[in-house]
Amino acid sequence: MDRLYAPWRREYHIKNNKKINEKCVFCAIAASAENDEDNQVFYRDKICFFVMNRFPYNPGHFMIIPNRHIGKYEDLNEKEVTHIAKIAKIGCKILKDFGADGINMGWNLGFDGGAGIPGHIHLHMVPRFKRDTNMMTTLFDTRVYSADFDKVFEEIKKISKNYL
C-alpha cells in the first residue's frame, strides 16, 4: 500500500553511536537519550523504549523496541519477553486514551515477515479508528495522512505520563 504524507517529516536524529550497531537506526535511538524529543521517543527504561513510528499506519502508531540489537523474537531473554508483554498493556491504555476504537499489536519478523528494519525487532502498536478505512484506501490503495506528527507525538507523550 502506498501512503501520502503531509506534512513531511524529519529523519530520525542520529548523533551518538558508540558501542552500537552503527547501521541500525533503532540502536542509534536506543543509545541517544539526548535526542529523544527529535526522535519522538516518549519512554525508555533499561530494557526497551517507546517511539513514534515514522511511517505510521494511523496517527498514534508507535513501537515498543528492545534496547538490545536482536533480529529474532526467540532471542529475547525471559526478562525482556516479560517486561515487553507487561509494558505493552500500558501501550494499549495510552492508545485507548488517545481515542483508539481498536488496536493492532504485532511483531513483523524478518524481511519476509514485513519488517522495515529486520535486524532489530520491534512491536507495533497501531490504533484503529471506526472510520479509518476511507475511500482512498479502498479504491486507490493509498492512505492520505494529514495529522500533524508533532502534535500527535505531544498528545501521546502527555497521555503516557499518566501511566509511565
CB closer to Zn ion, 124 vs 143: 124
CB closer to Zn ion, 45 vs 101: 45
The verdict on 122 binding Zn ion (CB under 5 A) reads: no
Binds Zn ion (CB under 5 A): choice among 42, 51, 76, 120: 120
CB closer to Zn ion, 70 vs 136: 70
Using a CB cutoff of 8 Å and minimum separation of 24, what contacts does 25-31 make?
25/117, 26/65, 26/69, 26/117, 26/120, 26/122, 27/69, 27/120, 29/65, 30/65, 30/67
CB closer to Zn ion, 27 vs 41: 27
Residues 89, 46 contacting (CB under 8 angstroms): no
Size of the residue set binding Zn ion (CB under 5 A): 6
The verdict on 27 binding Zn ion (CB under 5 A) reads: yes
Residue 14 CA to residue 32 CA, distance in Å, equals 8
The verdict on 68 binding Zn ion (CB under 5 A) reads: no
The verdict on 26 binding Zn ion (CB under 5 A) reads: yes
Q: Give the helix/strand (H/E) hosting 22.
A: none
Residue 159 CA to residue 36 CA, distance in Å, equals 17
The verdict on 24 binding Zn ion (CB under 5 A) reads: yes
CB closer to Zn ion, 27 vs 94: 27
Q: Which of residues 75-114 bind Zn ion (CB under 5 A)?
A: none
Return left, alpha or beta for 6; rule: phi > 0 is left, psi -120 to 50 is alpha, else beta.
beta
Closest to 67 (Cα-Cα) out of 85, 84, 90, 82 = 84
The verdict on 14 binding Zn ion (CB under 5 A) reads: no
The verdict on 43 binding Zn ion (CB under 5 A) reads: no
Q: Segment contacting Zn ion (CB under 5 A): 48-56, 61-69, 103-111, 145-153?
A: 61-69
Which chain residues interact with Zn ion by CB under 5 A? 21, 24, 26-27, 69, 120
